[in-house]
Structure 1
Amino acid sequence: MHASKGDRLVVHGRAVGNSDRVVEIVEVLGKDGNPPYRVRADNGHETIMTPGPDSVVDNRRGGERS
């Protein structure tokens, strides 16, 4: 997984009916764009996370995801 500051991280819901969570990557703490990442949710909460296999990076900053 490779990301840059400003990318979006999409964490897919694990159960039927759970929606995806989308957070903004505000800082890349790993080497060469690798995790861990400091992320910010829509409500302003920030945390450090190492995404699992249920996550993808959306490199289209500010764009819609598909």
Structure 2
Amino acid sequence: MRAQIGDRLVLEGTHLGDARRVGIVIAVAHDDGSPPYEVRWLDTGRATLIFPGPEARIESQPPVADVSGPA
């Protein structure tokens, strides 16, 4: 698993009735993008350090285009 700042980390529930959690990666510990990640959770706004398990996936965010034009 590899992530970069701005990617979404999605944790699927592992038991019946478990909610899906979604967070934004705000820090990556290693240059190669491997865990652990610091994630700000969308449901609580809290930031936590996480070593994702098999129920997790990364959703990469496309780079934002610079629409400001030439300076």
- Report the TM-score, using the length of structure 1 for normalisation: 0.83
* Equivalent residue runs for 1:1-66 within 5 Å: 1-42=1-42, 43-60=44-61
Secondary structure in 2 matching 1:40 = strand
Give the ranges of 4+ consecutive aligned residues of structure 1 lying more than 4 Å apart after TM superposition: none
Give the distance between the partners of 2:6 and 2:34, measured in 1 at CA: 14
**Identity within the alignment, %:** 39
Give the distance between the partners of 2:51 and 2:17, measured in 1 at CA: 24
Secondary structure in 2 matching 1:48 = strand
Give the aligned length.
61
RMSD: 1.2
Unaligned runs of 5+ in 2: 63-71
Secondary structure in 2 matching 1:57 = strand
More helix by share: 1
- Report the TM-score, using the length of structure 2 for normalisation: 0.78
Query: 1:41 deviation in Å?
Result: 1.0
Query: 1:12 deviation in Å?
Result: 0.6
Give the distance between the partners of 2:30 and 2:36, measured in 1 at CA: 5
The structure with the largest alpha-carbon Rg is 2
